[in-house]
Amino acid sequence: MDEVKSHAHAYPTKKFFVRMITRDIDLKDCILDLIDNSVDNAWAEKGGHIMSLRDTTDLSDFEIHINITNDCFSIRDNCGGMTLDSAVDHAFNFGRKEFSPNDNYSIGVYGIGMKRAVFKIGREAEVRSTYDEGGERSSFKVPINVDEWVHDDAPPWDFDIEESSDLGENGVEIVIQELTEEAESEFSSPEFLADLRWVIERDYTLHLHKGLNIFLNGKRLTGWRVELRQSENFRPMRAEYNDISRDNEVVVEMVGGMVAPPPESVDPDEDSKGDRLSGWYVACNGRIVLAADKTETTGWGAEGFPSWHKQYSGFIGIVLFSAQNAAALPLTTTKRNVNSSADLYRRARARMQEVSRAWIDYTNQRKRDTESARHNEEASRAVSIYDIAPREQVQLPEIEKKPVVPMANVSYSVPKTKLKKLAREMGNVTMSYRDVGQKSFEYAYEDYVGED
């Protein structure tokens, strides 16, 4: 009898592997993975310390240039470059070692981002690096031809490293061509580019605030200016505590409060920017991974807690988790969400819900006297999140019950085009539906009834 076959092969094929790792991630998030790598290197150059709201590290020496055309993607940074050793030992590995000494409050953690981005974007890539070692500049390049690479499944899976001329500055340049169908089609869309810009400006707000220069097709991006409203009656909260996750110390910072008065209209059809921006933002080592969240992930609609409602628009909360070893953070591999089953995160969420709760109560209360509430709200001034004074809970005004005048709610539908024309003639084409209705009523009232 033949030798008994007692082992089944369990190696993946490269094709399967490439398909799997690129499947559940959005193209934009792959591009962000590449930015993360540049940022991580820049941050390491600056000593790799905690990036708290208080931190004042200057990143203005660093530049990241992203260029996207219909048939080519490139990213280039001057953040110091990767060394040959790092390329040989781990940069092109799939997966990182659990703890590596270069974990310096980095965003990268899973050891997959760069490779996955290449596969997602195109079939022909070249990674070039120029770096300093012992005062001398060296360079190398790693060409990747994906079709060729997937051809041979036999381990070890590796990429050839070749000699290269120096880049202008020490840094990394990645050029990707022969775009995948998805990338080709998205890159042709002006809206995709606008969205990408929006996402970068949002998710690297903290870095951009520190002066980091990111250019998209030559245009310098600016981070969001996040400001919460403050006055005698209104004060945003700002708190900080230390926690432990997977034996690592994690610093948790939280700010929350009012960015804008709650909306006058909660009509679900009326698109409001205020509502789109409201909600919770979660950052891991400075990078925003969840934005304007209104779902159970950040506590809304979780057991015993109200679901998000347009009435709550105007609220923004930000939580920052920072740890030397990013593996301790509630990051998902796509960096587009948080792992909400992590205890660290759950503890933070309970705290976040207290902040949300105060706001929910306030928006309910203010219905008693919206007019004076609005008056109060508008009297507040905007304070940058970096300048908010510590306080455990948001301060919101108590609203007295006003003697009730019986009110009638009027509601009707008209063709949108007509409403817009009327708004235009009333002097503001972007006026809210509610205001158009109100003004029309006043106009008609005055015409039919005259002065009160």
Partner 1 sequence: MPSFEKVNYSLRPSKSIQRGLVFEGLRAIKERLALADPVYIGLGSVWFSDFLMAHSALDVWDMVSIESDEIGFERAKFNCPFATVKVKKGEAGVVIQDLKNGAEYSQRPWMVWLDYDSELDESVCQDLAYLNRNAPENSVIIFTFNAHEGNYGKPAAQRRSRVIELLGRVVSEDEPPASFKNKYGAFEKRLAKAVIDHMISDAVKCGREGGAVPAFNLRYKDGSPMVTVGGILPSKQNRAAAEELVKSEHWDYISEALIAAPNLTLLEVAHLQKLLPSSAPITRQEVQTLGFDLSDEQVQSFQKYYKYFPLFAQISA
**CA distance linking residue 155 with residue 158, whole number of Å:** 8
Show the site string, 153-192: x = touches ligand ADP by CB under 6 A, - = not: -------------------x--------------------
In this chain, which of 147, 152, 160, 271 binds partner 1, going by CB under 8 A? 271
Residue 79 CB burial class (10 angstroms; 0-12, 13-18, ≥19) = buried
Show the site string, 173-202: x = touches partner 1 by CB under 8 A, - = not: ------------xx-xxxxx-xx-xx----
**CA distance linking residue 228 with residue 47, whole number of Å:** 31
**CA distance linking residue 200 with residue 185, whole number of Å:** 20
Residue placing its CB nearer to partner 1 in the complex, 69 or 189: 189
Are the CB atoms for 432 and 265 separated by under 8 Å?
yes
Residue 347 CB burial class (10 angstroms; 0-12, 13-18, ≥19) = middle
173 binds, among partner 1, ligand ADP, Mg ion, none (CB under 5 to 8 A by kind): none
Any contact of residue 108 with ligand ADP (CB under 6 A)?
yes
Closest contact distance (angstroms) between CB of 131 and ligand ADP is 8
* Residues numbered 2-61 forming contacts with ligand ADP, rule: CB under 6 A: 33, 37-38, 41
**CA distance linking residue 99 with residue 111, whole number of Å:** 11
Sign of the four-CA dihedral 99, 104, 105, 109: negative
Any contact of residue 286 with Mg ion (CB under 5 A)?
no
416 binds, among Mg ion, ligand ADP, partner 1, none (CB under 5 to 8 A by kind): partner 1
In this chain, which of 52, 86, 177, 231 binds ligand ADP, going by CB under 6 A? 86
**CA distance linking residue 231 with residue 235, whole number of Å:** 6
Please identify the residue of the shown chain whose CB is closest to the bound ligand ADP. 108
Show the site string, 199-238: x = touches partner 1 by CB under 8 A, - = not: -----------------------x----------------
Q: Where on the chain is the footprint of partner 1 (CB under 8 A)?
A: 185-186, 188-192, 194-195, 197-198, 222, 271, 416-417, 420, 424, 428-430
Q: Where on the chain is the footprint of Mg ion (CB under 5 A)?
A: 36-37, 108, 113
